[in-house]
Amino acid sequence: MLYILLIFIVSTSQTSIIYDFKKDSSTSNWRVVDDEVMGGLSNGKLSVNEQGFGLFSGNVSTKNNGGFSSIRYRFNAIKTSNNQKISIRIKGDGKRYQFRVKDKISQYHSYIYYFETNGEWQTISIPLKDMYPSFRGRKLTIPNFNHTQIEEIAFLIANKKSERFELLIDNISIN
């Protein structure tokens, strides 16, 4: 009986890599979306540095009603359950960022989670059930994430001020 329980625990606690910059080391499937879509002047970019980490960097400008920069990665649906967590291994610049997911790329809203960086390597664990729905910076009055798949992840910076930013990304996984 104990053997069956151990098999169940191991099989239900597997980690799936969503993206690993060390292995994939390409930015071609990532898309930068800045506030330029609304007339803003922010500019972000994604590159791979010499060590093989993803580098999301640039400038956020609040001029022309702007104020955000983001990167998005779309993929074939990954099955999820509400008790799973997404882990991101990052090294930031002491600023606040958002991690976002969409269960379907056709949805207008995203589910978001804020995290603070501290200048050191961190592994941030994000319970899917704690991610709340938001559209254009406004929290929606629908339930938190409770879907059976994700098709898009994103990082976004929007701290309501003009600032330079730099976020190193090692990998993103779900467990």
| Secondary structure of 106-168 as H, E, C letters | CCCCEEEEEEECCCCEEEEEEEHHHCEEEECCEECCCCCCCCCEEEEEEEEECCCCCEEEEEE
Residue 11, domain member (yes or no): no
Residue 63, domain member (yes or no): yes
Residue 1, domain member (yes or no): no
How many angstroms separate the CA atoms of 126 and 112, rounded?
Answer: 10
Residue 1 pLDDT > 50: no
Residue 6, domain member (yes or no): no
Q: Give the pLDDT confidence of 42-69 residue by residue, as tens digits.
A: 999 999 999 999 999 999 999 998 999 9
Average pLDDT over residues 22-27: 84
Q: Structural domain of residue 36, as residue ranges?
A: 16-174
Q: Which pLDDT value is given to residue 52?
A: 95
Question: Which amino acid, one-letter code, is at 89?
Answer: R
Q: Give the pLDDT confidence of 81-98 residue by residue, as tens digits.
A: 878 999 999 999 999 999
Q: Which pLDDT value is given to residue 38?
A: 86
Q: What is the pTM of this model?
A: 0.90
Average pLDDT over residues 26-46: 93
Residue 4 pLDDT > 90: no
Residue 4, domain member (yes or no): no
Q: Which pLDDT value is given to residue 8?
A: 41
Q: Give the pLDDT confidence of 108-164 residue by residue, as tens digits.
A: 999 999 999 999 999 999 999 999 999 998 999 999 999 999 999 999 999 999 999
**Per the structure, how many domains does the chain have?**
1
Q: Which pLDDT value is given to residue 170?
A: 98
Instruction: Kindly indicate the confidence band of residue 13, based on its pLDDT and cuts at 50, 70 and 90.
Output: low
Residue 51, domain member (yes or no): yes
How many angstroms separate the CA atoms of 161 and 96, rounded?
Answer: 12
Decide: helix, strand or coil at residue 90: strand
Residue 72, domain member (yes or no): yes
CATH of the domain at 97: 2.60.120.430
Closest CA to 169 of 31, 61, 80, 47: 47
Residue 2, domain member (yes or no): no
Residue 74 pLDDT > 60: yes
